[in-house]
Amino acid sequence: SRHLIGLKGMPKSEIEAILDRAGYWEAQPVAASSALSGKFVANMFFENSTRTRFSFEVAEKRLGAEVLNFAAAASSVQKGESIYDTVKTLESMGIHGGVVRIKAVGVMQELAERIKAPLINAGDGNNEHPTQALLDLYTMRKHFGAIEGLTVSIVGDIRHSRVARSNLWALREMGASVRFCAPDNMRATELAEYAPYVGIDDALQSDVVMMLRVQLERHEGGLFGSAEEYRAAYGLTEERAGRMAPHAIIMHPAPVNRDVEIDDALVECGKSKIFEQMANGVPIRMAVLERALLG
């Protein structure tokens, strides 16, 4: 199948092919391709998004696709229609591919088994967010020249993070070493065999310090004390950033809670790749759409 459900198990050669193809698209002039001319692509977001949703739409339009945007809030999902029936409905109308984001874990797998049109996972619960990790790897490779041998520390809400999981699988496959840093209630114990947990001071001594958003909506009070206490214990403060190596970079998938997991002044600082990550999301998604729809 040409679905892209996750990066777990994707071989290095395939990851590299996607990164290389994104490099090709990044070098092309904007809005010049007819690669997906006549292809209908539906963006089906059952959970909110800004970056992923719009960068897929930009990517689709740059490839000349016909874009259908599905908004769950204005759909028959509000009448109780299931995600499967919704995607099956769009498939029956002849879409050539779909981009899907959902809250629940497990549904994406079911869709991949039952839907024939190629589907791209735009984030499912805390399971995987493959295009985010691909754009993260692309950003690292562009900065460092290679991913093999890098030390990447992912700091924050690992337990709830699909970004951490997709990055873990792809970075390990590419020969980077991944470390996690998180308070007890944000750890994913099932991942401990793949990435050691380190303290925040050790996490700073990495080539890449990747901060994760504190998912306030998924914690309901059980966070880690207050936002101020979280910042003091695990936030990337200006003082902590000053202890990073000169060559090291700061990443964050965004959206950012400024002054919680990362200081406001660092978001657009020289070490930060946060907005470059967003820019790289477009060529990565062009490469992924092409792979899914054209093989």
Annotated binding residues: 51-52, 79, 101, 129, 132, 162, 213, 254-255
For residue 130, the one-letter residue type is: P
- Omega within 30 of 0 (cis) for the link into 255: yes
Of the candidate spans 198-206, 231-239, 250-258, 267-275, the one that interacts with ligand CP by CB under 6 A turns out to be 250-258
Three-state SS annotation for 84-124: HHHHHHHHHCCCCEEEEEECCCCHHHHHHHHCCCCEEEEEE
Contact status, residue 262 vs residue 212, Cβ threshold 8 Å: no
Give the whole-angstrom CA distance, residue 144 versus residue 76: 47
Return the range that interacts with ligand CP (CB under 6 A); candidates 9-17, 171-179, 195-203, 252-260: 252-260
Among 16, 21, 49, 64, binds ligand CP (CB under 6 A): 49
Torsion sign, CA atoms 148, 163, 101, 68: negative
Q: What is the SS3 assignment for 75?
A: coil
DSSP letter at 28 equals S
Mark 202-241 with x for binding to ligand CP (rule: CB under 6 A) and - for no binding: ----------------------------------------
Q: Which residue is nearest to ligand CP (CB)?
A: 52
* 272 counts as binding ligand CP under rule CB under 6 A: no
Stretch near ligand CP under the rule CB under 6 A, chosen from 107-115, 238-246, 253-261, 282-290: 253-261
Q: Pick from 72, 254, 260, 292: which binds ligand CP (CB under 6 A)?
A: 254
Rule CB under 6 A: choose which of 52, 121, 126, 139 binds ligand CP: 52
Note the residues at the interface with ligand CP (CB under 6 A). Answer: 49-53, 123, 132, 253-255
